[in-house]
Amino acid sequence: MIRLENATWSYPYAETPCLEQINLHIQPGEFVVLCGASGSGKSTVLRMMNGLIPHFQEGGTLTGDIHVAGLETKKAEIDEVGLLTGTVLQHPRRQFFADYAAEEIAFGPENFGLPREQIRETVQRLVAELRSHMDVTTRLQRLSGGQQQQVALASARAHGPEILLLDEPSSNLSRDAVQRLATALGELKRLGTTIVVAEHRLSYLSELLDRVVVMRDGRIDRIYTAAQFAQISDEELASEGLRGKLRDAVLPSLPARGASVVPPQEGSETLPADSSPAGLELRDVAVSFQGKRVVAVEHAFIPAGIVCALRGPNGCGKTTLARVITGLQRSTGKVLLDGRQVSRRTRQRTSAFVMQDVQRQLFTDSVAAEIELAAPRSAQNDEVLSDLDIAHLSDRHPLSLSGGQQQRLVVATVRVSNRRIVIFDEPSSGVDRRHLVSISSQIRQLAESGAIVILISHDEDLLTLAADAEIRLAPRPKQA
């Protein structure tokens, strides 16, 4: 079904190949997981398989042979490869062409000229699946990152491709959404779809995968069968920088109340109210979009010096609340910093925000220039780059980095910016186990310096390492 033979790829002006001598044969109906450290080449392998390399990457050099369902991708038209494959990118908003879920799902089949009645039935079926856990009448740009990821998967399936390629599909998903993803992939496998997933979190795929391909520095380091992989201990996975068994982060609750807040369970630990004014206070904060209430917090106080996890299912309003706190989103109510009410403009000046799609926060032409922009002539810059294992990339253009490397670069810029309020929104997206530890260390150091630190994440490993307490948001009520 997919055959890569001695495939080597070099980006324009790169001194060394990004991928070198890749030999991989994937059989029809096989479920293969690509894993390995950030920057090892997993996403680039997927771009070879769907034809984006070389057709949408000008100036690079591709050698070797790549065949997908009998097509030689270098010679085939990109739409021929696209008809055979469906792709879900790590940041799905980059692949949207429409404003709403139904339109986005219909976009691919319409462009491939599928029969109108088939398109209608497919859209109705996939939208019905989405409607059970999100408001499908909401514009795509208003959906949470996890909900966007689920729409992207539905869209990738819509034209019935023989091959499905997914890049970090669980990175922004809540636990229930990961389970739905696993169920959907299991059904596709049962129907005979060939599936290739680039992923760091492996536990939810353990019952589905047929082989695990471990990448290292642009090469295939080793390949495990499902039986062999099942015998690997969590300690061995850790030594390879891979994620193993999913753990539950158990955190005490911060005092908070409101329609959007989940009250602490009876008998669970709750941190006592802090008498010090040092921290962030929310009073009667509410946000509505098109007449729909999306966030309502009557009262919450987040003390300085701790890492507060903001948790809840996809679409419950975590990122919206974070945007209110940083002054990026208009709201009603009051926000107080260290006991004094502060305006949106003041909060913008005193806040730093690591977004889910960090490419939107990269502005310069090198890693060194990016961190220099955040903190000119700071003695801390080199140390932080080293701690996050990107000092050796200082001359690289930020957009040439892998998703995980870009994530760590933005974390580095926030770390040295010395802002009073710092919010991390899914900062471990695309990050392997080893670098997860370095990111959690930077988050903790910020809190220890006295900053107000809020961590939005579904990553239980990261929450266990970095967070001190939590505020849970409730699922948003379904609209009639």
Residues 295, 225: one domain?
Answer: no
Total domains present in the chain: 2
- The pLDDT of residue 480 is above 50: no
Structural domain includes residue 244 = no
Q: Which of the listed residues 211, 239, 267 is the one where a domain comes to its end? A: 239
Structure tokens belonging to residue 138: 């909401």
Burial bucket for residue 141 (CB in 10 Å: 0-12, 13-18, 19+): exposed
Is pLDDT above 90 for 430?
no
* pLDDT number for residue 246: 61
Average pLDDT of span 349-358: 92
Same domain, 184 and 41: yes
What's the Cα-to-Cα distance from 287 to each of 60, 115, 331, 409, rounded to whole Å?
Answer: 47, 42, 5, 31
* Residues contacting residue 248 through CB under 8 Å, at least 6 positions apart: 460
d(CA 110, CA 168): 27
Of 170, 205, 239, which residue sits at a domain end? 239
Residue 247 falls inside a structural domain? no
* Rounded mean pLDDT, 256-274: 80
Q: What is the CATH number of the domain that holds 149?
A: 3.40.50.300
Confidence (pLDDT) at 166:
96
CA gap 410, 354 in Å, rounded: 7
Do 375 and 452 lie in one domain? The reply is yes
What pLDDT, on the 0 to 100 scale, is given for residue 11? 84
Report the pLDDT averaged over residues 64-93.
Answer: 92
* Whether the predicted pLDDT of 479 surpasses 60: no
Domain boundary among 182, 205, 239: 239
Cis? peptide before 303, omega within 30° of 0? no
**369 exposure class (CB count in 10 Å sphere: 0-12, 13-18, 19+):** middle
pLDDT, residue 49, reads 96
Give yes or no: residues 226 and 266 share one domain.
Answer: no
Q: Cα(309)–Cα(463) distance, rounded to whole angstroms? A: 7
Extended strands (E) in 168-278: 194-198, 211-216, 219-225, 256-257
Does 459 lie in the same domain as 430? yes
On whether residue 55 sits in a domain, the answer given is yes
pLDDT in tens, 296-316: 999 999 999 999 999 999 889
State yes or no: pLDDT of 57 exceeds 50: yes
Confidence of residue 409 (pLDDT cuts 50, 70, 90): very high
For residues 245-258, one letter each, b for 16 or more C-beta atoms within 10 angstroms of the residue's C-beta and e for the rest, the string is: eeeebebebbbbeb
Under 8 Å between Cβ of 455 and 443: yes
Judgement on whether residues 377 and 343 belong to the same structural domain of the protein: yes
Residue 331 reports pLDDT greater than 80: yes
**121 or 378, which is more confident?**
121
User: What value does the mean pLDDT take over residues 257-274?
Assistant: 80
pLDDT at site 245: 65
206 and 293 assigned to the same domain: no
Q: Are residues 230 and 310 in the same domain?
A: no
What is the layout of strands, in order, in the sheet containing 279-289? 256-257, 292-303, 279-289, 332-337, 340-341
Q: Are residues 271 and 356 in the same domain?
A: yes
Indicate whether 479 belongs to any domain: no
- Mean pLDDT across the chain: 91
Q: Is the pLDDT of residue 268 over 80?
A: no
pLDDT in tens, 28-46: 999 999 998 888 899 999 9
The Cα–Cα gap between 220 and 367 comes to 27
Structure tokens at 326: 């940083």
The pLDDT tens digits of the residues spanning 172-202 come to 788 888 888 999 999 999 999 999 999 988 8
Q: Which of 35, 22, 87 is CA-nearest to residue 56?
A: 87
Relative to beta strand 31-36, strand 194-198 is parallel
Q: What is the pLDDT of residue 178?
A: 87
Domain range enclosing 272: 256-472
How far from each other are the two terminal CA atoms of the chain, in whole angstroms? 44
Residues 178, 264 within the same domain? no
CA distance 300 to 238: 37
On whether residue 480 sits in a domain, the answer given is no
Same domain, yes or no, for 324 and 412? yes
Helix, strand, coil percent values for the chain (each to nearest 5): 35, 25, 40
Shared domain check, 133 and 87: yes
The whole-number pLDDT of residue 92 equals 85
Instruction: Tell me the mean pLDDT in the region 83-101.
Output: 91
Q: Is 280 within the bounds of a domain? A: yes
Does some domain include residue 478?
Answer: no
| Residue 364, in any domain of the structure | yes
d(CA 64, CA 8): 6
pLDDT for 478 equals: 59
